Amino acid sequence: MKLKPYSLGVLLLTLLAPATLPAVPALAAPAPAPPVPQSHTADVIVGFLTDFYGEHGPTLHDRETRVSQLLKDKQKESPNADVLLCAQNEPQGIVVGPATVAQSAGVGWATVTTLWDAGRTDTFTVYVRLDSQPIRVDDVICAG
């Protein structure tokens, strides 16, 4: 029996028909992205720092629970100075200035002013990571 040329094409099409092709699993929908941590706003940072520093400096509890490990280590290396206040004594008062937020750097900061005898003041900068949960002081840079 002699096959006609178009018979081979029909035969191949029949063999490759969708009914005989292996089933291709449907692509699964991508998994949802994990939730992005809430980023602290300038107002939240100022509120936190105002509460943290209070009138005369952070409490022992705040120093243990609301401070980064970096600052705890800095304090151990500087036993004669308070790294959170950039001082050796307790100030008469504390004022937290406006906060700046740098979303791209993931950090916010504010200038803190301490008030001393005879109207003397000192300033330092306090940094907060925007994604810290709960919010805590990440670093302090003294002005002088």
Instruction: Give me the pLDDT at residue 25, please.
Output: 60
Instruction: Give me the pLDDT at residue 103, please.
Output: 93
- With 60 as the cut, is the pLDDT of residue 4 above it? no
pLDDT in tens, 35-85: 555 689 999 999 999 999 999 999 999 999 999 999 999 999 999 999 999
Q: What is the mean pLDDT of residues 103-113?
A: 96
31 phi and psi angles, rounded to 5 deg: -65, 145
- With 80 as the cut, is the pLDDT of residue 126 above it? yes
CB atoms within 10 A of CB 82: 17
Instruction: Give me the pLDDT at residue 143, please.
Output: 87
Instruction: Give me the pLDDT at residue 39, please.
Output: 87
Instruction: Give me the pLDDT at residue 128, please.
Output: 97
Pairing of the two strands 121-129 and 137-142: antiparallel
Q: Which of 39, 6, 28 is nearest to 133 (CA)?
A: 39
pLDDT band at 24 (very low <50, low <70, confident <90, very high): low
Q: How high does pLDDT run on average in the chain?
A: 85
Instruction: Give me the pLDDT at residue 14, please.
Output: 54
What is the rounded distance in angstroms from the CA atom of residue 113 to the CA atom of residue 91?
A: 10
Domain boundaries defined on the chain:
42-142
Instruction: Give me the pLDDT at residue 22, please.
Output: 57
The domain made up of 42-142 has a fold known as Nuclear Transport Factor 2; Chain: A, (3.10.450)
CB atoms within 10 A of CB 54: 12
**CB distance 128 to 138 below 8 Å:** yes
